[in-house]
Structures are given as structure tokens and as C-alpha cells.
Amino acid sequence: MKQDEFKLWVGGAAGDGIASVGNTFFQICARLGLHGFAYNSYQSVIRGGHVLWQAHFAPRKVYTQTDQCDILIALNQDTIEREAKTAVKGVLFNSDRLRLDPAKLPAGSRSLGLPVSKMASKPLLQNTVALGAAAEIVGMEFRIVGDLLRDRFQKKGKEIVNENVEAARAGYDYARKNFPSFGIQLPTLKEPKMVMTGNEAIALGLLAAGCKFYSAYPMTPASSIMHWLSPRAARYGVVFKQAEDEIAAVNMALGAAFAGIRAMTATSGGGFALMTEAIGLAGMAEIPVVIGLVQRGGPSTGLPTKTEQADLFQALGASQGDFPKIILAPTTIPEAFEATVEAFNLAEKYQCPVILMSDLLLSEHAETVEAGRLNLDVAIERGVWARPGADGDFRRYVDTDTGVSPRAIPGQEGLIHTGISDEHDEKGHLISDVATDPAMRIRMMNKRMRKMEFAARDLKAPGIEGPPEAQLTLVGWGSTCNMMAHLMRDLNANGDNRVNI
């Protein structure tokens, strides 16, 4: 019986085109309808270092990358030295310039040298040669590979398309003639799938939610939200602003939200630390804003390119004092899309900051998503708005049963008000301008915090997945839930009720 799943790793230095060959193979698998999961481990360098793209493909749901691969594509000698021991079936490499000592391989693994200089017109095409060889190893038809390469490179002209198709064909034919069978046959399923990262899902979610202003300062691993959004913003009527720093970014978003526009910013832990004063302003002035917090290792600049979940307490305690804030933490790529939409609805319904928490693994890994899984026709809930009038008695912060006061856009007739960072009365007048008014302070604090009682009813309670009578329950949040789901499936494979999550 042939193996119907495949684990592929691609390693090299930054700038070697690792993601290009990896993502191309991923797109081919997605067109075949396979499930896939890919994670790119990289360093904080533009060139050099060690980059490792790890992927797992199967006809069933894939939850995570693994600690071994079937085939390793090594684009430099460093990758051979570091990773050859993890390749269970073999290592593909350019034998014109790299060397592999078979003693470095695990038992049964093969040295799969490719004489690239005889197979491609340019050394840079070694990636495409290896791609073709990998496609043959897993039993793909070359037609599928060629079609995707034509689609991928068509904007670069016919010459580039032909070079890549010919290089892949050479690698494919060489593997068929010179390499043994590895007993792998990836099946073709009925429905092709999309390939998406968590940050792309967040960006797509903010578009679906009607966000019209996005400001940010680049900070890994949140930056790819702005990278995806910036070339598409004008098409969807979004004002995109790359700010000079995180303080400017969050205050721009607050200004847009105060003016009645759905607005968002995103950063990582260090940038979020700079945003906390503005988050307090959003709480006091009751401005609905969405802030993405994509976690990485800390403290300080920490681990820019490594995942960690260490910022939950930072989000809970953002800014001084007590005020309503809502924190959402999706666990999957579809949930990242859905939680982004929900974040905007909750922010406007309860007029408070909503923090959307992710982490590097969830935001930057790529995964297949079933076509139609993301519903772009989402419900929009904009909350309570005041009706324009001319009586001049508008109380922007009127105390209500829910704690939510009708909003107004600045400049509306009869709805002039002050949105202010100081404690205030119902009209927005500072209570610190009087000798003392503890009763008003207590009243306004209670008014704001009352929102949380009602918001809690809108938030879905944590649920149990797996057998309800399991011997062990694993508790997690964010991207760790994928690893737990993988573990649960393995431990319960024989019908056991050992684990739920």
C-alpha cells in the first residue's frame, strides 16, 4: 500500500528562493485538493542565515508541521549539515556544488543528487529543478506542475515561463530515470483548496467587515497584514497609512474611528507596549477601535522571528486604570477571519477597544482552506447612533441600562460633544475642573464597566472538542490548539476516549 501523505522540507539561506519552491509545491497540492500545513522558520536577516520551510500534505486534515520529513530539498551545504539527519527517505541537492556524506543520513534514506548545470540554463533554476524532482517522487503528473508554473510566471514573460517549465521537466525526468520508487502516491481529491496564512485571513476579514482605515508601523510578525493589504487597499476603498511609529499608528486609527470609520492597527508585543496609552484613551472616550496583537518572544525586542504566547496579561492590563476591553484569540485560519469580523462588530456595539490576539505561528503559517469556508457576506453591526437634532442638549456619554451611549460623528448638527481622555460627565465636561465630584466618577465608571456584562453574553464560551468522557482534557488557546488537535487524533485513533480539548 502506497503512502498517501508527504512531508517536504526546503532549506537554504535567506534569498535562496526557499519560499518560492515551497509555496509553488504547496499550490500544486492545493489544486489536487490535498490538505496542507506549512511553516517557514527564518532568522532576522535579509541574506544568509538558515531558513527552513516545513510542510505536511495529506488527504485528511493536517494540523501542524512535524519533526521529520520524507524529502529534504537542500539549497546549500549548511542545510545538508543541519537537516540531512531528519530526512527519512532522501535529500535532493545540487550535486554540481554540494556534497552529501551518506553517513549523515538516517538508515534507508537516499542521497538524491541533481546535476543542475546539465539540466537548467541558469544556476538560479536549481529550485525549479528540485521542484520537478519532488513532484515525480510523489507521483504527480507533470501537466499539473507545468500548468501552475505557467500561471505563476506568466506576468514575467514567455521566456521566464519556458525556462522554469523546462527546468522542472528536466528535474522530473531525471528523478523518474535515476531515483528509486519511494512508495509515495499523493491522491487527487475532488475539490481544489485555497492556500492562506493567518495574517492574510485577518486582512481579508477586515475588508469583509467594512474596515476603511488601516494604519501600522512594520513589526514582525504583524507586518504581513500590511504587506497583503497595501497593494489592495485602494481597490476596496481602504485608506492605508504606514506610520512613523506605533504611537502614531494607533492614534491615527483612533482618529478615524472617532470620525465614524471602522479602523484597525496591528503590531507585536513591543509595539503594543507603545500603544497602551492610546488604548486607555479609547476606553475613556469610548472609541471603537480594533488592535491586532501578533505575539512573538519577548521582552523588549525579544525574538522577532520566533513564536510565543506571552502577551495575554499585557493585553489584559493594557493602560492604567479599569475600563472595558474585549480580547479575541482565534485558533485557526478560518477563525482568524471570523474573529476579525467579530472584533469590529463588538468594538462598535460596545464602543470599546477590541484586541485581536494571534501569534507568529498562527499568523505566518500557511494552510489549505476549503473553497467556500470563508463567508464574505458577513453581518455588520454598527451599534447605537444618535439622531441629529438641534436642541443642543446632546449627552454623548449618557448613562444607559447597557452602559452603551448613542454615538455621533463630529460635526453633526445638534450633536456637538467632547471626546476626551479625562474623566467627564455625560456631556463630556471634565469633572476635574470642579473641586470634587466622586459621585459622577463612580457613576461613569459603573456605566462603562456595565458594558462588559452585556458583552459577555455575545462572546462564545469555550467549548469541548472530542469525546466528552475523555480521561484527559487539554486546555489551550491560539495556535497551540492545532498541536492539541493533532495529538488528540493520534491518541484517539483506535476509538479510545483518551483525550479531548
Give the number of other CB atoms < 10 A from CB of residue 312. 16
Task: Identify the weakest region by mean pLDDT among 60-74, 120-134, 251-265, 387-401.
Answer: 387-401
Exposure b/e, 129-147, CB count within 10 A at least 16 = b: bbbbbbbbbbbbebeebbe
| Host domain of residue 492 | 462-501
In a domain, 495, yes or no: yes
| Domain count along the chain | 4
Residues 153 and 283 in one domain: no
Same domain, 290 and 328: yes
Do 66 and 166 share a domain, yes or no? yes
Residues 391 and 364 in one domain: no
Q: Find all residues with CB under 8 Å of 469, minimum gap 6, and list them.
A: 497
Instruction: Say yes or no: 48 and 164 in one domain.
Output: yes
Among the three residues 175, 190, 205, which one is the final residue of a domain in this structure?
190
Cell of 334: 478560518
Q: What distance lies between CA 380 and its chain's CA centroid?
A: 22
Give 185-237 pLDDT, tens digit per residue.
Answer: 999 998 999 999 999 999 999 999 999 999 999 999 999 999 999 999 999 99
**Residues 6 or more apart in contact with residue 5 via CB below 8 angstroms:** 56, 57, 58, 59, 60, 186
The last residue of a domain, from among 190, 216, 241: 190
Q: In terms of domains, do 468 and 452 share one?
A: no
pLDDT tens-place string over residues 428-465 = 999 987 777 899 999 999 999 999 999 999 998 888 99
- Is residue 378 situated within a structural domain? no
Final residue of a domain: which of 164, 190, 216? 190
Does the residue 245 lie in any domain?
Answer: yes
**161 & 186 share domain:** yes
Q: Is residue 377 part of a domain?
A: no
Same-domain check for residues 439 and 361: no
Domain harbouring 100, CATH code: 3.40.920.10
Q: What nine digits make up the cell of 393?
A: 442638549
In a domain, 63, yes or no: yes
Q: Name residue, grid cell 515551497.
A: 22
130-169 pLDDT, tens digit per residue, is 999 999 999 999 999 999 999 999 999 999 999 999 999 9
Residue 87 belongs to a domain = yes
Give the pLDDT score at 463. 86
Whether residues 218 and 301 share a domain: the answer is yes
**Stated pTM of the model:** 0.95
pLDDT tens per residue across span 327-377: 999 999 999 999 999 999 999 999 999 999 999 999 999 999 998 899 999
Question: Cα 231 to the chain's mean position, in Å?
Answer: 18
Q: In this structure, are 184 and 200 located in the same domain? A: no
Distances (CA, A) of 343 to 223, 291, 355, 383: 19, 9, 8, 13
Judgement on whether residues 270 and 302 belong to the same structural domain of the protein: yes
pLDDT, average across residues 396-418: 93
> Does residue 401 fall inside a structural domain?
yes
Rounded CA separation 478/308 (Å) = 10
469 touches 492 (CB < 8 A): no
Look up residue 197 and give its three cell numbers: 496564512
The radius of gyration of the chain's CA atoms, rounded to the nearest angstrom, is 27
Residue 261 lies in a domain: yes
| 447 plus 473 within the same structural domain | no
**Alpha-helix residue ranges (DSSP H) falling in 65-157:** 77-83, 126-137, 142-153
CATH of the domain at 364: 3.40.50.970
